[in-house]
Structure 1
Amino acid sequence: MTPLGTLMGSVAARPRDPDELVRTYAEGPGPLEGFRVGITAARKVEEQTALFTRRGAEVVWAPALSQSPNHVDADELRAATARVLAQPADLFLATTGVGMKGWFDATREWDLYDDLVAHLASAEILARGPKSVGVLRRNGLRELWAPDSECFDDVLAHLRGRDLTGKRIVVQEHGQSLSMVAHALRRQGAEVETVAIYRVERAEDPGPLFALIDQIAAGALDAVTFTAAPAVASLMEAAGSTGRRDEVVSAFQSDVLACCVGPVAAAAFELWGVPTVYPERSRLGAMVRLLETELPLRRRGFTLNLATGATLLLHADAVLLDGVEVHLSGAPLAVLNALVTNPGQVVSRAELLTLLPSGGAGSEHAVEMAVARLRAALGTRSVQTVIKRGYRLAVA
């Protein structure tokens, strides 16, 4: 196994003592003064920590993934490269900028760079997001299409209606196996070759992550940040191994905000019914600025003007309608929290079901009952039914 750092350059230095989780900073009051933020990143952690502490936040760091550079099996990558070059490619799917850079750097060492670039140039190129687009263009390649969402699922959706019979598709993997993607494309008649540039590995020492899970379950953090989908999977796997997964999910659904760098990491939480926030641009600075707005808002309370003319105020678990406290049980409160996350936007019954205290057990009738109780508390016109789609909060 060859460290990917030898192919892609070194990774930024990290705090030397992973057991020293809580780090406090006295740089004067800032917009995040008094908030505690968990960081699960293994890369660029010092940059992220500085961005938060500069704003007054207290940071708890626990890497969910390996602190070492991602690893690649150089022999395996060279063999995959040979297979790619052996036959013309009709389509090429680029998924990560770091992966593409690593592949190009490796082929330079093997004197295969020009061959690979020329080979890919003859294919229709689809790219998952701006980072992969940037690397492709710097190497003289041009993508035909890339989704605005930066989600690989949308790349697949773009191909779903096409006849791929006999087409040879090369897929650059993004640190985790895309074998299921390959199977889906093969069902459409394609011949698929996957190329594993690197593999994402779990953190060497899970102790800090277990400690972070304890703090999430206890509601001792205001937010936890995620910069990669595998970090979400690693944290939930670790929570399951300690028997605290349900507590972690419950905490994320109520007191602790799960903040992701983009839609790809956020999508990894959908399996668990965890609501997330992420910035429009998948950038570290944008994620920090989003929390700079979101966390104080959550602490002060969230005010909405309903279409009925009433004013709704939410603060933690307290709900006030025109200044009068409304007592809601777990299910209608969970529905309300989901609806106010994006006021006026439709939330499906299936999604609401996963957010109920039952965790998705039962039928959608449970959602209907929760909505009925919420309407009884806030007014019958407070929640609108959108036929065949779900429900939305009726806001002014």
Structure 2
Amino acid sequence: MVGSAAVADRTAATDGAPGAQLAGFTVGITAARRADDFAALLTRRGAEVVQAPAIRLIPLPDDVQLRQATARVISSPPDIVVATTAIGFRGWVEAADGWGQADELLGALRSARVAARGPKVTGAVRAAGLREDFSPESESSVELLEHLLGAGVSGCRIAVQLHGAATEWEPIVDVCSALRSAGAEVIEIPVYRWLPPEDPRAVDALLRTTIDGGLDALAFTSAPAVAAMLGRADDNGLLEPYLAALRGQVLVACVGAVTAAPLTRLGVETFQPSRARLGALARELAEALPARAVQVRAGGRELSIRRNCVVVDGAVREVTPAAMALLRELVRSPGRVVSRTDMLRALPGGSADTHAVDSAVARLRASLGDGQIVQTVFKRGYRLVTEQERR
């Protein structure tokens, strides 16, 4: 919020202006990778962004297990390679390159059939000079596993690039176990691990903000981040109120169905863009959030009432907290007279002087840029002027 002196100075047209599409909305993001890029996409559209990386990615280029697994693949090339994440597959090749073994590794993989879990992984596979033989449209490990088992894997040597650790919130399909049970020899490739953030204070603050109703939307870009937030809420004894917030007032946005899966299992409704990309997710938020704002026509004007501002006929108008509280009270029943006493109760701060209402209404009118939207009803209170009354 800004003071009343600055209110009249900052207006922006929302129509065709990306910088105002998300004005007045607060979005929480939990991304670990490309968090700043995603935040920039949202702030460019006017959003206030609260960042709290829920996880941290620990690459393992010098890990003994990874080097040993890579040596096994080079010495005896696999029949099938399962690539589960783009960052993981790239990390494997980059680690091998750091050891001077990239050419040997890629040479060993060229003779294998490659199963890639989704388009981003496929892109990483192709960037390495390989071609995928199968990639499920659903980006689902279940569909990928069903395809492999359906084709028959008994006697096959299969390298599986792992993607972090499973938790009760993100029960990753145990592809390796299922393949072994079907008669395959499996080489596990542990490229990286997801770990909690070293300092959980930002995550804890985001949890509390979500529960307290301080967010309009919460965005997730990976299933491990979803699992980490759920786990932290559970550790803090806040799981039920956190889930209640996600099922209620907060718009939950996920980059794709795989990311959304842990929340879907818990009855949380989410939405995803048609393409699992950060840019697409930002664009979807820029359309979905304004559609959820309170829309009212008053005083011949179109008002979109958001958390931290009001859009009047397409122009962003910043409003002080007191004035916004009164506007929300008036919007409950456009045209109905709201007494000064009722409006006083709506004011933050617990003032006992009805003159505070008159002052806040004056600031509201100045902020909206039109003194005819809110009408004074002599000795009774105030009301929004409806369209019928303007005619």
Using the size of structure 1 for normalisation, the TM-score is 0.65
Are the counterparts in 1 of residues 210 and 242 from structure 2 also a CA contact under 8 Å?
Answer: yes
Q: Once the 2 structures are TM-superposed, how far is the Cα of residue 27 of structure 1 from its aligned partner?
A: 9.2
**1:60 and 2:50 are equivalent in the alignment:** yes
1:238 maps to which residue?
232
Letter in 1 for 2:27: V
> For 1:27 and 1:232, how far apart are their aligned partners in 2?
36
Tell me by how many angstroms 1:249 deviates.
0.9
Determine the structure 2 residue equivalent to 1:104: 93
Pair 1:226-2:220 in alignment: yes
Kindly provide the amino acid, as one letter, of the partner of residue 40 in structure 1.
T
Cross-structure match for 1:380: none
CA offset digits 1:152-176 (Å, max 9, x no partner):
2221122242322111211111233
Aligned position for 2:273 = 279
**Aligned counterparts of 1:27 and 1:45: Cα–Cα separation in 2:** 28
Match for residue 180 of structure 1 among 171, 174, 183: 174
Higher relative contact order (CA 8 A, sep 6+): 2
Contact 1:71 1:200 in 2 (8 A): no
Equivalence map 1:142-157=2 (5 Å): 142-157=131-146
Q: CA deviation at 1:71?
A: 4.6
Corresponding residue for 1:190?
Answer: 184
CA deviation vs aligned residue, 1:176-214 (integer Å, no higher than 9, x gap): 366822112222222211101111111111111111111
Maintained 8 Å contact 1:163/1:189: no
Specify the code of the residue in structure 2 equivalent to 1:263: A
* Partners of 2:59 and 2:91 within 8 A in 1: no
Q: Alpha carbons of 1:179 and 1:226: their partners in 2 closer, same or farther (altered >3 Å)?
A: closer
Letter in 1 for 2:24: G
Change (3 A) 1:71 1:205: farther
Please say which structure displays the higher CA radius of gyration.
Answer: 2
C-alpha contact 1:223 1:256 (8 A) present in aligned 2: yes
- Which residue identity is paired with 1:187? S
Provide the secondary structure at the position in 2 that maps to 1:268: helix
Question: Which residue in the other structure is 1:125 paired with?
Answer: 114
1:84-132 CA distances to partner (integer Å, 9 max, x unpaired)?
A: 2232312111112221222112212323222211211111111112222
What is the deviation of 1:224? 0.6
**Residue matched to 2:71:** 82
Residue 194 of structure 2 corresponds to which residue in structure 1? Answer: 200
* Farther-moved stretch of structure 1 (266-275 vs 36-45): 266-275
What is the rounded CA distance, in whole Å, between the counterparts of 2:69 and 2:294 in structure 1?
54
Q: 1:253 aligns with which of 247, 252, 275?
A: 247
Q: Who is 1:3 aligned against?
A: none
CA distance in 1, matches of 2:106, 2:192: 19
Cα distance in 1 for partners of 2:11, 2:272 equals 26
Distance 2:158 2:256 in 1: 26
Matching residue's letter, 2:237: G
SS at match of 1:192: strand
Provide the rounded CA distance (Å) in 2 between the counterparts of 1:208 and 1:255.
21
Question: 1:46 aligned to 10, 29, 36, which one?
Answer: 36
**Alignment coverage as a number of residue pairs:** 275
Moved more, 87-96 or 241-250: 87-96
The aligned residue for residue 375 of structure 2 is: none
Contact 1:72 / 1:199 at 8 angstroms: preserved in 2? no
Q: Is the 8 A contact 2:61 2:95 kept in 1?
A: no
My pick for the range that moved more, 185-194 or 201-210, is 185-194
Structure 1 residue 247: Cα displacement: 0.8
* Identity rate, percent: 44
Q: Partners in 1 of 2:156 and 2:235 — Cα distance?
A: 42
Listed as ranges, the gaps of 5+ residues in structure 1 are: 1-25, 302-396
The equivalent of 2:291 in structure 1 is: 297
Letter in 2 for 1:296: P
Aligned partners of 1:70, 1:232: CA distance in 2, in Å? 20
What whole-Å deviation, never above 9, does each CA across 1:298-330 have from its counterpart, x for those lacking one? 2248xxxxxxxxxxxxxxxxxxxxxxxxxxxxx
| Partners of 2:24 and 2:157 in 1: CA distance | 55
The one-letter code sitting in structure 1 at the alignment partner of 2:198 is E
Structure 2 stretches of 5 or more lacking a match?
A: 1-9, 15-19, 167-171, 296-391
